[in-house]
Amino acid sequence: MKKTFIYVSIIKEGYHCFPEAGTDPRYATGDYYDVSHLAARHMHYFYIKVWIEVNHSNRDIEFIQFRRWLESLYGSNALTLDSKSCEMIAEDLYAKISEKFPGQEVRIDVSEDNINGALVEFAGTN
């Protein structure tokens, strides 16, 4: 069985925090592994890559239009993400994608500064 996906990538400046990092001993370790600084609001460039299943090989979803639509969801301002993780950002984005493209299998990769991130896969119903 063959599955075909198109993908697009966008980059957005964004600000978030991880409040638990300041007090949870799993993160506020006081040693080399300490990441308590993440409790404070900080900036990343969020690299977002979306794969979406297509049903045929002749521009079922035209990827330039798809990328422009994704960019329009975020506007031109920096993102304010509160305490959202990369995984949560992907889940929020999938909610929008599934409204416009119901039933399609989708994979969303969200990374901080194109270094660390999460890949979340959403099963389609086709």
**pLDDT tens readout for residues 14-24:** 999 999 999 99
- Which of 68, 62, 60 minimizes the C-alpha distance to 3? 60
* Both tokens assigned to 9: 């990538």
Compute CA distances 53 → 6, 30, 70, 111, 125, whole Å.
Answer: 7, 45, 16, 21, 11
**pLDDT tens readout for residues 62-88:** 999 999 999 999 988 889 999 999 999
Output 38-43 pairs: Cβ under 8 A, ≥24 positions apart. Answer: 41/15, 41/16, 41/17, 42/15, 42/16, 42/17, 43/13, 43/14, 43/15, 43/78
* Both tokens assigned to 101: 């493209």
Residue 73 to residue 11: CA distance in whole angstroms: 13
Stretch 46-63: mean pLDDT, rounded? 94
Q: Per-residue pLDDT for 36 more than 70?
A: yes
| % of the chain surpassing 70 pLDDT | 99
Confidence of residue 126 (pLDDT cuts 50, 70, 90): low
